[in-house]
Amino acid sequence: MFDGKSILITGGTGSFGHKYTETLLAKHKPKRLIIYSRDELKQFEMQQKFNAPCMRYFIGDVRDRERLNRAMQGVDFVIHAAAMKQVPAAEYNPTECIRTNIDGAENVINAAIDNNVGKVIALSTDKAANPVNLYGATKLASDKLFVAANNIVGEGSSRFSVVRYGNVVGSRGSVVPFFDKLIAEGNDHIPVTHKDMTRFWITLQQGVDFVLKNFERMLGGEIFVPKIPSIRIVDLAKAMAPDTPIKYVGIRPGEKLHEMMCPGDMSLHTFEFNDHYVIAPAIKFFHRSNNFTSNALDEQGRPVESGFEYVSDTNGHFLSIEEVAQFNEEAKL
């Protein structure tokens, strides 16, 4: 699907961009792979690792519509990964988060439509489902923009979908590198925000593979949600530092005890497939089918029960302490 095609990744110097680039170069032969981001140092460092002839590095911000429009010329597929992601930072810098996560999403959509990009997938987060923090609220707004873009495009051929998943093991700024740092420094305790806190758990490779597969599945307008395990943060601390005491420090600004990916209020629009859920748009599209019980690969889904919720604390698949340790090791490969 990606052989001979041009792909652009916004925020491409992040954890996802690195893994996606590695996977794409190993399994496909793209015509161009464009890394679009605003940090020249991160681009320089990434160039040392990925310097294949197809690689292109564009300095640019998703807030800059003109630059995005230039970067997307001749592009077939876009992955929108650029975002402000740190919950406390978003709480204290709300306007900056809005400009990047909402205004930036609109700019990506408009540039994609203007350049007749074939397919666009935006990365979302479990924090966008029934959000309680600004980051989650901006990503919910972004999700809504990408769903509605399938109407905005009119009779054009561009299609837009969203992928929503949970905490990515080992991604920059996440809890695993933080615990690793404390352990390496010989800290006398592991700080845990709350004894009951749970999270969805996915490896970077699983996230990348899920996004790639959904380019094949997508009709446009769906929110794809993978079926993944949950963990207890207390169990994570025990798995990583079994002999180190745990200290409960209280939840951070804007933080939830448990995360949700499929809200009950959207259950009438949610379909269960073999290894994932699809949240279909509540709005109607005027130039195409609105049937989401099957996808472009002819995989069949079924409606979930009314009131169904997919939440980290009631998830049927929880990892034990031993499984968490094994999962984290596999995530490093």
Decide: 220 and 271 in contact? Cβ < 8 Å: no
Angle of CA points 56, 61, 66, to nearest 5°: 85
Catalytic amino acids? 127
Three-state SS for 167-188 is EECCCCCCHHHHHHHHHHCCCC
Decide: 299 and 164 in contact? Cβ < 8 Å: no
Decide: 247 and 188 in contact? Cβ < 8 Å: no
Decide: 166 and 313 in contact? Cβ < 8 Å: no
Rounded to 10 deg, the angle between the 15-27 and 40-49 helix axes is 30
CB under 8 Å, gap of 24 or more: what pairs does 235-238 form? 235/319, 235/320, 235/321, 235/324, 236/175, 236/176, 236/179, 236/324, 237/179, 237/190, 237/192, 238/321
State how far the Cα of 246 lies from the Cα of 29, in Å rounded to an integer: 48
Alpha helices in the chain (DSSP H): 15-27, 40-49, 65-71, 87-92, 94-98, 104-114, 134-152, 175-184, 204-217, 233-240, 321-331
Alpha helices in 156-293 (DSSP H): 175-184, 204-217, 233-240
| Strand-pair partners of 276 | 226
State how far the Cα of 197 lies from the Cα of 233, in Å rounded to an integer: 6
A 10 A CB-CB count for 14 gives 24
